[in-house]
């Protein structure tokens, strides 16, 4: 991990990104972009840029906000995992199977797999046993696999702004797909806007892509009935499944070179 601006600038330019320039550190937002409620990440710490995965990790110094956010995402994550497993047939795999260091015993191209323990605690190995470990519990996500492609359902939304700074919105969904375990390994694919994408934009998927779904996260601290939560979970899972299926069709070259995404959508 590094927060050295010069190192980050050099690496992000070499790796490549949609701005085709050096990237900088932006701001943190809670639930939505609101200029009145913006937060700056920690200063002078080592939890900004991962030189191995090429992922940005922005943490704010507010224990109450972090605790509220983490309690909220833990509950929703558990419900989404159960929906994927019980209602949509995702098979649970372990760490070695996910990392491909050991073969998946019941592997099948049409089967969907979930590494349930991955992202469950929300911590990063690089921050373990450091003085920043107390804030090392907010990075929850849900890692999945299908037909050799990695898919993640994230509870933070990253984007690159006009000034080429990487910003993050806590409590905002974002999907990503990649041929490698780390989505930014070969190219930093964060989108250049924080608003939702359309499925037509998935045609850009080559080796990695990030996608902002239309479903918004439930508000932190607001009371919801079980029916409202169940409806919300089904909506975000439906979008995630559609994302997976479209990426599958694009990567498997099932369409002609002059494909139209409308055709993909109609086939699902």
pLDDT per residue over 152-182, tens digit each?
999 999 999 999 999 999 999 999 999 999 9
Does the pTM surpass 0.85? The reply is: yes
Tell me the pLDDT tens digit for each residue of 41-52: 877 666 789 998
Tell me the pLDDT tens digit for each residue of 101-132: 998 988 888 899 999 999 888 777 766 666 55
Distances from the Cα of 56 to the Cα of 12, 21, 46, 193, 219, angstroms? 11, 16, 11, 16, 24
Instruction: Give the containing element (helix H, strand E) for 209.
Output: strand 208-211
Among residues 43, 17, 1, which one has the least CA distance to residue 209?
A: 17
201 or 242, which is more confident? 242
- SS3 state at 92: strand
- Residue 206 pLDDT level (bands cut at 50, 70, 90): confident
């Amino acid at each position: 991990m590094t927060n050295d601006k010069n190192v980050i600038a050099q690496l992000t330019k070499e790796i490549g990104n949609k701005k085709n320039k050096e990237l900088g550190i932006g701001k943190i937002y809670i639930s939505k972009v609101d200029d009145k409620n913006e937060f700056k990440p920690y200063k002078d710490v080592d939890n900004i840029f991962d030189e191995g995965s090429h992922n940005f990790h922005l943490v704010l110094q507010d224990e109450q906000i972090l605790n509220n956010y983490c309690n909220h995402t833990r509950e929703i994550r558990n419900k989404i995992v159960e929906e994927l497993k019980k209602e949509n047939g995702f098979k649970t795999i372990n760490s070695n199977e996910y990392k491909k260091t050991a073969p998946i015993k019941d592997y099948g191209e049409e089967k969907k797999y979930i590494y349930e323990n991955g992202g469950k605690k929300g911590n990063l190995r690089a921050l373990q046993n450091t003085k920043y470990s107390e804030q090392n519990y907010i990075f929850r996500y849900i890692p999945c696999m299908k037909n050799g492609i990695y898919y993640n359902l994230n509870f933070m939304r990253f984007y690159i702004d006009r000034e080429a700074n990487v910003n993050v919105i806590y409590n905002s969904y974002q999907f990503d797909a990649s041929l490698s375990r780390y989505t930014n390994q070969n190219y930093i694919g964060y989108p250049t806007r924080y608003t939702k994408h359309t499925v037509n934009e998935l045609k850009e998927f080559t080796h990695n892509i990030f996608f902002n779904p239309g479903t918004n996260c439930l508000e932190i601290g607001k009371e919801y009935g079980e029916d409202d939560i169940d409806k919300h979970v089904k909506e975000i899972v439906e979008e995630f499944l559609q994302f997976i299926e479209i990426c599958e069709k694009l990567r498997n070259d099932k369409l002609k070179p002059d494909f139209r995404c409308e055709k993909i959508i109609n086939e699902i």
